[in-house]
């Protein structure tokens, strides 16, 4: 049986998990920035009910393309080299791993860290020092994600929408209501009921209203494509600004990005919780 479109979209693409992040150096608002740049990044925080090894096994089992960054300044249930080596030996090239540590680490310790993780264990996503200055960390981590090609083939993250996401527009003096199928910060697609608007390619529409699970956005959009899908006419729009440049105003872009981020975070969180519950029910699976 084919996977539902939303679950398929969630499973696909590279996911980056930062394990036990230092929130004083990389606060949670970094995640919105990463999503805006097209990087699907999540934080894995403390969980007293399940050890880190089991949790990383859940992530690597659930998602076929996973990158893990471990904050080795936090304590784990076993020494970090032992834990990371175990994961690397079991998962091989599939486990793409990096480590984070404080930039105040002295030069000798830094060389030892690099020798242990890069050469002895063979991690491939780097040893990344973090500063106490958050703007520098954000720029550095964004560069690390780019260097590791953490976007994959996706330029922007796209959320598959449910019935709570609708579009409303006026065409030829008539208001039409439709259902949004998916949305990114560059495009959205939608279908209208029978008798919907007859839109032409490159036609520009003003005062298009999007409702995204209760959040309302007023945008302008250009018809970029249309095609028949399962008996419905699907329209694909590119966002544009008043001066006809493609794109969104910073305010609207942030709102739509927040919706996409929340959508992914909830879906991925639900999958991870279900995976963890399965481990609790069958602990021998990660013994």
Those residues whose C-beta lies under 8 Å from the C-beta of residue 5, and which sit 6 or more positions away, are: 160
C-beta of residue 18 within 8 angstroms of C-beta of residue 41 = yes
User: Which uninterrupted H or E stretch holds 7?
Assistant: helix 5-11
Two tokens at 257?
Answer: 């990005």
- Tell me whether strands 66-71 and 127-130 are parallel, antiparallel or unpaired: unpaired
Beta bridge partners, 96, equal 67
Which residue's entry shows tokens 């020494």?
79
Hey, what are 128's tokens?
């990344």
**Phi, psi for residue 78 in degrees, rounded to 5:** -145, 165
pLDDT in tens, the chain (287 residues): 344 566 777 777 899 999 999 999 999 999 999 999 999 999 999 887 778 888 999 999 999 899 999 999 998 888 999 999 999 999 988 899 999 999 888 899 999 999 999 999 999 999 999 999 999 999 999 999 999 999 988 889 999 999 999 999 999 999 999 999 999 999 999 999 888 899 999 999 989 999 999 899 999 999 999 999 888 999 999 999 766 566 899 999 999 999 999 999 999 998 888 887 876 666 655 55
Q: Give the pLDDT of residue 1.
A: 32
- Give the pLDDT of residue 281: 63
Considering the four listed CATH numbers 3.40.50.2300, 3.40.718.10, 3.40.640.10, 3.30.910.10, the one that applies to the domain covering 5-155 is 3.40.50.2300
- Number of CB atoms found within 10 A of residue 282's CB: 10
Q: What are the structure tokens assigned to 275, written together?
A: 């995976």
**Global pTM value:** 0.91
- pLDDT of amino acid 48: 75
Q: Which CATH superfamily is domain 159-248 in?
A: predicted glycosyltransferase like domains (2.40.10.220)
Cα–Cα distance between 266 and 272 in angstroms, integer? 10
Please report which residue ranges of 12-160 form alpha helices under DSSP H: 29-36, 52-62, 80-91, 107-114, 134-147
Domain definitions of the chain by residue range: 5-155, 159-248
What six digits make up the tokens of 266?
Answer: 């909830």
Q: What is the pLDDT of residue 49?
A: 72
Q: Are 67 and 34 in contact (CB under 8 A)?
A: no
Phi-psi region of 239 (alpha: psi -120 to 50; beta: other; left: phi over 0): beta
Do the Cβ atoms of 279 and 286 come closer than 8 Å? yes
**CB neighbour list of residue 231: distance below 8 Å, 6 or more residues apart:** none
Q: Which residues, 6 or more positions from 188, have their beta carbon under 8 angstroms from its beta carbon?
A: 167, 180, 181, 182, 210, 221, 236, 237, 239
- Rounded to 10 degrees, what is the CA torsion of 219, 221, 227, 230? 0
Rounded Cα distance between 105 and 162, Å, is 48
Q: What's the pLDDT tens digit per position in 34-90?
A: 999 999 999 999 887 778 888 999 999 999 899 999 999 998 888 999 999 999 999
- Please tell me the predicted confidence (pLDDT) of residue 194: 84
d(CA 96, CA 157): 21
């Amino acid at each position: 049986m084919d996977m539902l479109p939303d679950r398929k979209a969630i499973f696909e693409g590279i996911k980056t998990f930062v394990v036990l992040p230092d929130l004083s150096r990389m606060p949670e608002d970094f995640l919105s920035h990463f999503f805006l740049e097209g990087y699907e990044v999540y934080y894995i925080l403390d969980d007293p009910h399940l050890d880190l090894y089991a949790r990383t096994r859940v992530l690597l089992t659930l998602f076929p393309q996973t990158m893990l960054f471990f904050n080795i300044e936090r304590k784990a249930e076993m020494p970090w080299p032992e834990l990371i080596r175990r994961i690397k030996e079991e998962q091989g090239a599939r486990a793409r791993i990096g480590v984070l540590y404080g930039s105040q680490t002295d030069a000798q310790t830094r060389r030892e860290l690099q020798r242990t993780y890069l050469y002895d264990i063979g991690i491939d996503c780097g040893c990344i020092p973090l500063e106490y200055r958050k703007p520098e960390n954000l720029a550095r981590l964004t560069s690390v994600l780019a260097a590791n090609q953490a976007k994959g083939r996706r330029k922007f993250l796209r959320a598959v929408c449910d019935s709570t996401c609708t579009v409303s527009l006026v065409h030829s003096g008539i208001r039409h209501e439709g259902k949004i199928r998916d949305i990114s910060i560059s495009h959205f697609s939608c279908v209208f009921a029978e008798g919907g608007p007859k839109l032409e390619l490159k036609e520009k529409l003003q005062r298009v209203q999007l409702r995204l699970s209760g959040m309302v956005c007023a945008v302008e959009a250009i018809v970029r494509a249309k095609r028949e899908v399962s008996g419905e006419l699907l329209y694909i729009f590119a966002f544009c600004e008043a001066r006809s440049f493609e794109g969104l105003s910073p305010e609207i872009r942030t709102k739509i990005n927040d919706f996409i981020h929340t959508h992914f975070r909830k879906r991925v969180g639900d999958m991870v919780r279900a995976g963890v519950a399965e481990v609790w029910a069958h602990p021998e699976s990660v013994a």
